[in-house]
Every structure is written in structure tokens, then in C-alpha cells.
Structure 1
Amino acid sequence: MPLPSFQEQFAALIAAPSVSCTQASLDQSNRAVIDLLAGWLGDLGFACEIQQVSPGKFNLLASYGSGPGGLVLAGHSDTVPFDEALWQSDPLKLSEIDGRWVGLGSCDMKGFFALVIEAVQPLLTQRFRQPLLILATCDEESSMAGARALADAGRPLGRAAVIGEPTGLRPIRLHKGIMMERIDILGRSGHSSDPGLGHSALEAMQDVMLELRGLRSQWQAEFNNAQFTVPQPTLNFGCIHGGDNPNRICGQCSLEFDLRPLPGMQPEALRAAIRQKLQPVAERHQVRIDFAPLFPSVAPFEQRADSELVRIAERLTGYTAASVAFATEAPYLQRLGCDTLVLGPGDIDCAHQPGEYLEMSRIEPTLRLLRELIGHYCLNPVGDGL
């Protein structure tokens, strides 16, 4: 039975719901997407391995050819949640509007897999001297559990990896990390008429925030990378909750914040600096302070500017490799020994938005680029040169 057409594959991926969300009521399995990809790739002769990461969540690693080296074309199979009322078309149906393919995941980034399959099909009559691996992960949009499971397993992949996140077909070799953290303060409530009856968690949190702002200033003075639009690390106070009534001393307060470190900044060292500041505040206010990540951190990412993959991508695209502010799965693939680059056809400005789209004018340039990369790493591998 012949494979569906490129457009039919693209549409089927969009139609398969795969929302990843920290809220259980919105979270969905990605199995339907993985099964589609495994079916199509299996029919093309790829060896397909499905890894269960957690109940309802799966990674796919499909390989064509064998041996060391080769190329990994990677992406995530999940999408963010969506509000259908804000879309002007059905988010789970591929629509062609003004030269764009519109649908949830068209840009970020299920559509990339259809492009990969379309790119590789005419090459399969040739001998693959080194393998091509196609990787689809789960839960990138929430916990990055799929990529972390892959990295923790420690199985080597290819010589080079390209992640098809939306970069407008410009190569990206750096991005900041992301840490999402939570601080809980447990004080003692009491009648507000006598401050001695309690220990205010809200006042303690005020001092915690002052300490965090001090650390932020310190880090921003110490670390700077002009390759980023925002060249310093950032720390954002995202939400705070505490207390229940004006006439009660606040007995509990929680703060959630995110910290985006630059390459060279280690998440555990940053957490250790924060903990060092929290203990004196706890003692001064006679409260208990708990500090923990909401999710495991994503490390900052940097691929050497003079690496083979960066030089090839710059030559093929005509753009100098640059940086982005958003985080990706790139650090996890690097841990597995891959030269890694982020390079895909979508535009980040429309990702996570109603009306997400892929410009149809990007389709042919993406197919040409993918075929060139497959040719270099799999068909005619030449070691560490151009």
C-alpha cells in the first residue's frame, strides 16, 4: 500500500491530538502521532523502536542503515494546549490560507516530520554508508521527559543532530537554559492585632524576593553574552500566593519564578547560591522555607562555532549561526555525543498562537536542505570536513 502523499501526512499529523500540559485535565497521549510515524517509516524500510517514557507518553527512534556516525533529524511530537474559540480555522485540520499551511503543530513542530519523510524518500534507492535516524520525542512542551529519558539511557546516536524547531531556516547554535522553581514558606498564623502571635510568611517572602533580586543583579553583572538579544541571564517572578484575610498574620506563602541562564552557568550552582541566601531569612523570620524545581532544568546550549555541522549549515543556508531565547532539547542530544544544531522552517513568532502556520514557500527550501544534510552525513560521509 503506497504511503499517503506529503500533504496527507502533514494533515494526519495535525489531526492527531497530542497536547502536552502540566494540567492533567488538558494533557494527552502522543501515541497516535508516534504510531503514524512508525507506520510510514516502517513501510519505507526504517527500523522503528518505540520507547514508553511514562503512561501514554512515547518516544520513537527510527533508523535507516547501521553503524556509527550518521545524522539524527529530531523533533517533538507534542503541542501546547489551544483555545479553539480563538482560532479562525479548525486547529486540528490542515487549512491552506494565503500561502500558508495553518494548523496546530504545523510550525512547532509536527509538520517537520512530514518534511523529513518527503525529503528522504527519493534518496532511499542509494546506499546509506552511515545511518539516518529520525527521533520523535514526547512532552517537550512541558517537562522534556522524552529527551531526558533518551539522554539518561545514554545510548549513542549519530555524529550530528538537527532539531527542526522553528528558526526560519536559520541555524541556531546557542540558547539559554530554563529553570522553573518554587519557594514555599510556612510561618505561623495569628491575630493581626498582635504581631507577636505569629510569624509572617508574607514578610519573609518579601525578604526572599529582595535576596533573589540581589542575586539577579550579581549574575547580570557577572555574565554577559552579546550574541543574545537579551545578553544577560534573566530571573522573572511569575506568580505569588499567600494568606487568606487582612486581619490574619500570613501563615503560608509560595513564589514561582523562572531563571534563564546563559551558556557557562550551571543550574546546580545557581540553586546552591539561592539556598545559601534562604537560610538566614528563615532564621530571621522563624519560618520554614522549602525550595525545589517545578521541573528538571534545561541546561543552556552552545555548539562550537567552528564545528563541522555549524559550518555546513551556514554554507547551505547562507546565514551565520546565531542564538535564540527559547529552550530546546539540544542539550540532551549533545549529552549523547552529537554535534547539535537547531534549524527548522517555521517562525517562532507564530508558535503557541492561534492560527499557527508554516509558510508554503519554506517547503521546497527545507526539502533541499534536508537532502543536502542527509547526503553529507549518510550517503557520502567524509569525516570532519566539508
Structure 2
Amino acid sequence: MSSSVKKVGGFVPSVEEALAALISRNSISSVLPEYDQSNLAVIELLANWFGDLGFAVEILPVVGHPGKANLLATLGRGSGGLVLSGHTDTVPCNPERWSSDPFTLSNRDNRFYGLGTCDMKGFFALVLQAVARYEASDLQQPIMVLATADEESSMSGARALAAMGKPRGRYAVVGEPTSLRPIRMHKGIIMESIRLTGKAGHSSNPALGINSLDAMHDVLGELKNLRRELAAKYQNPLFSVSVPTMNFGCIHGGDNPNRICGSCELAFDLRPLPGMSNDELRDEIRRRVNPIAAQNEVGFEMYSHFPGIDPFETPASSDLVQVAERLTGFSSEAVAFATEAPFLQQLGMETLVLGPGSIDQAHQVDEYLAHDQIEPCIELLCNLIDRFCVTPSA
């Protein structure tokens, strides 16, 4: 593993030292308040490291989310440049199921184990090694390191940056675990609930109430029709699941077998392909459910569990995609999981998802980053910096 590097202003920690420090700082984000933690300890650690390397560092609090912040560290000047982006939070974990403490880095079996080693604190440890090789005077365009909050829950950090209009690079690499294979498209996601409200009553006489569970049966049938229609209309063979998907995740209604079900709620997700619109899908669902609710004489509400993530696609012809394909030796691919890439793309940057580690390790017990991903990743990052910051094309 790389040893500590001497730089003006101090020492750059080795990969192992950096990983150990990052993993030790609990930055779990969750929609459940009892699990949710601040990410400021990680942000401040990164700010110190990149500041010591001569980067101009901005810590950007996420408005409305106390204890949460983004970081933007910039080396060099110019209107273009390369953004290396990652999130500082992790998912919750079950420490009792781990073979070792998830907040203490464990080095065994040619792997680094710990919560976030793969998804995705490990990326920052490798970025640190790559950028330590450069001074501002080497660069014609800037290197920008972006560290965000709450990717695993609300994506509030990326949403805040998009609203602020920063960063303003020309190219962006999101270092999610892709086994160092370039990903140029992924599906979007919306998570919605439909609530139907009828009238409870004694089950011996159906006329005494309005059964919302009966109405939900009709709604489910119509949503299944929509699912079939979307699958017939939209396909993309680059995805392993080539059609948009809709999953009925949970349903709750009523309170007793001998009582007419007064209210019923269905929660579901829908993952659209690039080229589909989240807002148009929501509108279509409302259009289909409204007449069912009216026919069944039930109240109808539909609400989103979070604002959603748009589908993402960067053209295969983009400079960033073609350079990444050449450097990695892999053709660009598509994945089903969502990332912060659409928010960076909204800022006008050519964007790619490309990072160390396997997505199969993300969110798992005994999460790890394999040693054999480390040096290839550092070299790849240096090659990208050379191409887009040191000797950028006109």
C-alpha cells in the first residue's frame, strides 16, 4: 500500500491511514432520525487534507439540514476542469453481524474492511493520493474535489449544490463503486404512496361504509396495466433489466376483519429509463387513479417519499466517455442503481460514474475494498487529471 507522501504544508496520509480516519467517523445518513448522523467530522477531515495540499476549500452547509455540509476543494484556476465527486455518508449497519468493528479499518485477505470502504469513503482516500502529485502550476484547468451529504437518504447535498449552481467544471466523475468500469447511464427512481380514504363501518352491512381496500384492488389492477404498458413502450438493451420497473413495496389498510376498511395506503417505487420523465409518470398515475377513486367514492391522495432522482445518460460520443473507455479498456455500461450524476449533469458537465470497488459490496455486512482496485484507480485518476486539467484539448 502507498506510504505517507511528503508535501509542502505537511504529510499526505497513506491510503490505509486515510481510510482508517474516514471510517472511524460515523456519518450514517438515514430517513429515520434515530440512525441519522452529522457528516461534519468527515467534511472537516477532508477539508484539512485538501487544504494542506494547497486546495482552496469551501465548506457549504446544507440549508435546512443541521449538521450536514458539502465540501468543494479546488486546485488551479480556469472555467473548465475536472470534478471528482463522492458522498461522505454511509447507510446504517448492523455491527453485531460484522466480523470486525465496522468503524475500525481491518486489513485482511488483501482487502480493507469497514463501513464505507467501498461505498464510498475509499474513493476520497484514493483521490487524495492522486491529486497529491500535482501543484496548481501544473494545471491549465482546475481539479475540483466534491464531497456531498446525505446521498444515501435524501440527496439533500447534491440538490443544494444544483440549486447553488456549483461546481462549474466541464467534466465530472462520480466515484461510486463500479469496479473501475465506466457507467454512462442509469435508471431514475420515484417512491410514491397512494392513500385512499373511505368510511369504516360494521362488516355485516356493506352499505354502512365505503371499503377503501376494495378500491385499492382496482388501483392495483390499473397500476399493473401501466407497468405492462411502460415495459412494452420503453426498452433499453444496455440495462440488465431492460425495461422500467414498478415495485409494490408495502400496503396497509383497515384494523379488523369484521370492520369495513376505512383507509388503505400503498407504497411503491418506479424506476424509469433515460428518456422518461419522473413528473410525467406521476401525472399519468394521478390521471389513471382519479376516476377509480371517483367511481368507488373514496378520497384519493398521492404523495412522494422524496423528490426522486432523474434517469441519467451521457452520450457515448462524449469526450469523457471515450477517454474513460480508452483508459480502462472497457466499453461504457448502464446500471439500475441511482447516483448523484444527474445533479452534476444539470450544471452542464459531461458526467460519468466510475470508481473503485464492487457495487455488490455496497450496503453489505463486512463491506470491503479489495487491494487490487487501489493502484489502478489512482493511476486512472491521474490519467484523467492529465487529460482534462494538465493538457486539456481546446
Give the TM-score normalised by structure 1: 0.98
Structure 1 alignment gaps of length 5 or more: none
Q: By how many angstroms is 1:122 displaced?
A: 1.6
- Correspondence for 1:144: 155
- The residue type equivalent to 2:16 in the other structure is Q
Separation (CA, whole Å) in 1 of partners of 2:268 and 2:51: 43
SS at match of 1:49: strand
> Does 1:309 pair with 2:293?
no
Q: By how many angstroms is 1:232 displaced?
A: 0.4
Residue pair 1:176, 1:262 contacting (<8 A) in 2 also: yes
Separation (CA, whole Å) in 1 of partners of 2:140 and 2:74: 13
- Correspondence for 1:49: 58
Q: Deviations over 1:47-86 (max 9, x none)?
A: 1111111211111111111120000000000000000111
- Correspondence for 2:85: 74
Separation (CA, whole Å) in 1 of partners of 2:269 and 2:199: 27
- Correspondence for 2:338: 327
- The residue type equivalent to 2:184 in the other structure is R
Q: What is the aligned length?
A: 383
Separation (CA, whole Å) in 2 of partners of 1:156 and 1:94: 31
> Kindly tell me: are residues 156 and 17 of structure 1, through their superposed partners in 2, closer, same or farther at Cα, counting changes over 3 Å?
closer
> Does 1:175 pair with 2:192?
no
Q: 1:201-350 to 2 correspondence within 5 Å?
A: 201-350=212-361
Separation (CA, whole Å) in 1 of partners of 2:27 and 2:185: 28
> Kindly tell me: are residues 12 and 156 of structure 1, through their superposed partners in 2, closer, same or farther at Cα, counting changes over 3 Å?
closer
Q: Deviations over 1:175-198 (max 9, x none)?
A: 000111111111110000010111
1:197 to 208, 212, 221: 208
Q: By how many angstroms is 1:380 displaced?
A: 1.1
Residue pair 1:74, 1:164 contacting (<8 A) in 2 also: yes
1:128 to 129, 139, 145: 139
Residue pair 1:156, 1:337 contacting (<8 A) in 2 also: no
Structure 2 alignment gaps of length 5 or more: 1-9
Q: By how many angstroms is 1:2 displaced?
A: 2.7
> Does 1:93 pair with 2:104?
yes
- The residue type equivalent to 2:302 in the other structure is F
Q: By how many angstroms is 1:126 displaced?
A: 4.8
Q: Deviations over 1:327-377 (max 9, x none)?
A: 000000000011000000110111100010001011110010000001111
Residue pair 2:76, 2:137 contacting (<8 A) in 1 also: no
Q: By how many angstroms is 1:124 displaced?
A: 2.2
Q: By how many angstroms is 1:326 displaced?
A: 0.3
SS at match of 2:34: coil
- The residue type equivalent to 1:41 in the other structure is F
SS at match of 1:20: coil
SS at match of 2:48: helix
Separation (CA, whole Å) in 1 of partners of 2:13 and 2:166: 32
SS at match of 2:363: coil
Separation (CA, whole Å) in 2 of partners of 1:125 and 1:361: 30
- The residue type equivalent to 2:241 in the other structure is V
- Correspondence for 1:65: 76
Residue pair 2:72, 2:167 contacting (<8 A) in 1 also: no
Separation (CA, whole Å) in 2 of partners of 1:377 and 1:346: 24
> Does 1:22 pair with 2:31?
yes
Separation (CA, whole Å) in 1 of partners of 2:15 and 2:242: 40
- Correspondence for 1:109: 120
SS at match of 1:177: coil
Q: Deviations over 1:117-165 (max 9, x none)?
A: 1111122275211111000001100111111111112235211000000
SS at match of 2:26: coil
Give the TM-score normalised by structure 2: 0.96
Residue pair 1:29, 1:57 contacting (<8 A) in 2 also: yes
Residue pair 2:169, 2:349 contacting (<8 A) in 1 also: yes
Q: By how many angstroms is 1:5 displaced?
A: 2.9
> Does 1:83 pair with 2:94?
yes
Q: By how many angstroms is 1:4 displaced?
A: 3.0
Residue pair 1:126, 1:379 contacting (<8 A) in 2 also: no
Separation (CA, whole Å) in 1 of partners of 2:163 and 2:259: 47
- The residue type equivalent to 1:25 in the other structure is E
- Correspondence for 2:46: 37
- Correspondence for 1:188: 199
Residue pair 2:12, 2:132 contacting (<8 A) in 1 also: no
1:2 to 1, 4, 11: 11
- The residue type equivalent to 1:185 in the other structure is L
Residue pair 2:161, 2:167 contacting (<8 A) in 1 also: no
Q: CA RMSD in A?
A: 1.0
> Kindly tell me: are residues 221 and 251 of structure 1, through their superposed partners in 2, closer, same or farther at Cα, counting changes over 3 Å?
same
- The residue type equivalent to 1:27 in the other structure is D
- The residue type equivalent to 1:209 in the other structure is L
Q: By how many angstroms is 1:265 displaced?
A: 0.4
SS at match of 1:208: helix
